Amino acid sequence: MTTRQRLAAILLWSTLVLVGTMFGASVYQRISLIPEWGGALPQSVVLYFRGTHSGQAIDRFWTTVTPPTAVAIILALILNWPLVARRRWISRGAILFFLMLAWTAVYFVPKGVIPLMKRGGDGLTPEAITQMARAWIFWDWFRMAGTLGSYLCFVKAATLQHGERKPTSLGKAA
């Protein structure tokens, strides 16, 4: 095994650990946190987030784990690129991951994180808090499914052998 292959494998396994951590945190959030702040809307949002550091703690985790995960995915894709079968699965996992990340940035942050978790619903009517929280909770199931799909693509890539390389114009493996 070459140094590049070793590094490619290390980055792929690092990606698995990081995406697995993000999925695990989503499951934890779903089981432990969401019932706390979404259990008796709208009061539960106000009590859980307003005047507390709960939103900051949640934000601190996600803003700490997401950037290195994204970098690991990109580097794993680049270093595994010559391995065609791995490339396909890593590409699929990367596409899903970055779609979920973009969805988070354009929907979940402005429609939930900022108004509900950072501001505790301050300035919103009780009806608006309830509507935002219910929508966020509902759509988060699909974001979790996308993250799981991404993780499973990386698992599949990790099961593939190193020897499958892209042929060159001379018919030999690159």
Q: For 9-38, how does the pLDDT look when each residue is reduced to its tens digit (9 = 90+)? A: 999 999 999 999 999 999 999 999 999 999
142 assigned to some structural domain = yes
> Which pLDDT does position 1 carry in this prediction?
82
Please tell me the distance from the alpha carbon of residue 82 to that of residue 5, in angstroms, as a whole number: 10
Q: Domain residues for 52?
A: 3-159
Report if pTM > 0.85: yes
> Which pLDDT does position 161 carry in this prediction?
80
47 assigned to some structural domain = yes
170 assigned to some structural domain = no
**Which helix (DSSP H) or strand (DSSP E) does residue 110 occupy?**
none
Mean pLDDT, residues 114-143 taken together: 96
List beta partners, residue 167: 173
Please tell me the distance from the alpha carbon of residue 84 to that of residue 39, in angstroms, as a whole number: 47
Which residues 6+ apart lie within 8 Å of 76 measured at CB? Answer: 8, 11, 12, 14, 15, 90, 154
69 assigned to some structural domain = yes
Please tell me the distance from the alpha carbon of residue 24 to that of residue 53, in angstroms, as a whole number: 22
- Number of structural domains in the chain: 1
DSSP character for 79? Answer: H
